[in-house]
Structure formats: structure tokens, C-alpha cells
Amino acid sequence: GHLDEDVFEKRYGFLDDVQEAEIAKLKKRVSAWKTTGNKGQKARKKLGLTQGNDTFENDQEELTRLIQEVAERKKANLVRAAKRTVKKKLREDVASGKGVYYPKRSELRKMELEAKFEEIRKRGGDEAVDKAIAKRRKKNVAKSHKLMPSHMVK
């Protein structure tokens, strides 16, 4: 069948809260592992980390994985929201009597990019947009340098 990601988000949104709680717990565990001396020993004992096969490395890996997962989900939500605004705009144009319009792929991409930056502006303001554009520019420069023959890059 067809996966409607918006419906999925609504139905299983509580899992985000569970995951946030798990991240907080893992942060406490990693902090207890890092703390040395008597204070660290007490913290580990309080969390039940003294016996068993739990290790600092395992907890650190799990924490990193969960944080990456949350970041990826936020990024996907941002892209989905941008696509939603583009589709909404096209629907409104049709409803206002402009007729059916099928944009080219490049136009769609451009509109989605604009919508994405608009979403970023809503959440973090102009500084966030500037930061995102700078990051994108840096990525493109690195990409172009990588594609150039080595004797041309200086």
C-alpha cells in the first residue's frame, strides 16, 4: 500500500517523546561513565552500571545513533513541509482559475528550495537562512574542487 508519512507522524508521534527520554537517559549514562573518582563511581552505581556488559563505548554509539536519527527525521520533515507548501500553491493557482499547470522538474526543485528556506526562516530567522546558504555554498565549492583535475586547483 501507500505510506502517508503525515498520518504516520500523527499516529506514532509519541515515539519521538520516548526517543527523547531515551536520549536523556543515555546522556546521563555517558556522563556517569566519563566522571572519574568517587563521584563517578556513585553515579554509575546509582544508574546500575557497575555490573553487566554495559560499556561506555556502547552507550556512546547508541547516543550518537539516536541523535543522528532525530536530526534525519527533522530534516525529512522540513523537506516534506516544503513539498507540501509547493503543492498547496499549485492547487491554489488552479482554484483561482489559472488552469492546470505542470511545472518542470527544475522549477519544482527551485520552488521546493524556496519553500525549504522559508521554513528555515520561520524556525530560526534570517541568521538560520544565511547559515544554511553559507553551508550549501561551502558544500558546492568543495564539490566543484573535487571534480576539477588536481593540477587546476590552487
Helix/strand/coil for 149: coil
Residue 49 DSSP SS3: coil
Query: What pLDDT, on the 0 to 100 scale, is given for residue 55?
Result: 85
Count Cα neighbours of 153 within 13 Å in the Cβ-side half-sphere.
Answer: 10
In this prediction, residue 67 carries a pLDDT of 96
pLDDT number for residue 153:
57
| Surface-to-core class of residue 29, CB atoms within 10 Å of its CB (0-12 exposed, 13-18 middle, 19+ buried) | buried
- How many Å apart are CA 83 and CA 108, to the nearest integer? 9
* pLDDT, tens only, 115-149: 888 888 888 889 999 999 999 999 999 998 888 88
Q: Is 53 within 8 Å of 20 (Cβ atoms)? A: no
Averaged pLDDT, 62-90: 88
| Separation CA 39–CA 108 (nearest Å) | 57
Q: What is the mean pLDDT of the chain?
A: 87
Higher-pLDDT residue of 83 and 15 is 15
